[in-house]
Amino acid sequence: MAVTWLWAGFIAVMGVMLVLDLGVFQKKAHVMHVREAAIMVGIWWTLAAAFALAVYFVYGHDKAFQFVSAYILEQSLSVDNLFVFILVFSFFNIQPENQPRVLHWGIIGAIAMRFVFIFAGLSLLGASHLMFYAFGAVLVFTGGKMMFAGDKPMEPGKNPALHLLHRFLPVTEGPHGHRFFTRLGGVLHATPLFAALVVIEATDLIFAVDSIPAALGVSSDLFVVYTSNVFAVMGLRSTYFLLAGSMTEFKHLKTGVSAVLVFVGVKMIVKDFYHVSTGASLAVIGGTLAAAIIASLLSGSKRP
């Protein structure tokens, strides 16, 4: 019964926040300044902390640690999404006052996709124990590749989803307010806002291929994995507007994230031979990312 109430509470909180976000905070298109973004980030961190406390009282400390670990992990993996947002908004020349609207709907799409991915991942793990080794190998490979590969800038104009959009709808040029679609000469057109949304959703789909196995490496509980992912994703938009001007400072964070992916992958591979406690996992994940952030702040150079 307590678990049912926890699910209900989670759905209620997310529903209320989404309604407030679109119906109140974004009722009038405006630029989200640093102060507003900082307040929203603080609200999301507070809600996540309160929910972790609720998980502790219902499930116990182990599940609560899993929630916090998965939340921190998803937050760190989302850093590359923030760079993607900058590139996409610049490529499509999205005005600052319309960027929150694009990210709002992009996040709703990400929440839906993550549920499908997480459910599919858990089904695969339940169908065959060998999938733990497969997911672990994917994470080790991805982490190693990320660590030693250079920063290759994304090219939004070459995104396959954008090419697919062009096959079905013509895309206009220039601003059209906050609208995703408009009619020109009686013909329905997609605006640059919708094109940017399509590219952001397609990119998030690619990122989910890495982030979902990583979360499943922390916990195999649908409730823990999904709620921690959603809390992290819901706060992503505010984090973007808070850090948009300083994200290049975190030069070593990518290395820290790579090391965490390798750690989680190895943890999945050796789980039958060596058990890493949830507390130890949280310490390694949190400690590694904290060290990467501190090293970035102490370093004078910036990420390209």
- Residue ranges of the domains in the chain? 2-298
Q: Which residue has the tokens 């959009």?
A: 165
Write the pLDDT tens digit of every residue in 35-71.
888 888 888 899 999 999 999 988 888 889 999 998 9
Q: Which two tokens stand for residue 257?
A: 């994230």
Q: Which residue has the tokens 């009686």?
A: 186
Distance of CA 284 to the CA centre of its chain: 20
CB 142 within 8 A of CB 210: yes
CB 191 within 8 A of CB 176: yes
Instruction: Please give the single-letter amino acid code of residue 231.
Output: F
Q: How confident is the model at residue 295 (pLDDT cuts 50, 70, 90)?
A: confident
Write the pLDDT tens digit of every residue in 189-244.
888 888 898 888 888 887 777 778 888 888 888 888 899 988 988 888 888 877 76
Alpha-helical regions (H) of the chain:
2-20, 34-59, 61-77, 79-91, 99-127, 130-148, 160-168, 192-218, 222-234, 236-243, 253-269, 278-298
- The mean per-residue pLDDT over the stretch 9-33 comes to 74
CB 77 within 8 A of CB 207: yes
Q: What is the 3-state secondary structure (H, E, C) of 173-197?
A: CCCECECCEEEECCEEEECHHHHHH
CB 77 within 8 A of CB 211: yes
Q: What is the pTM of this model?
A: 0.81
| Core vs surface per residue 253-266: b (16+ CB within 10 A) or e | bbbbbbbbbbbbbb
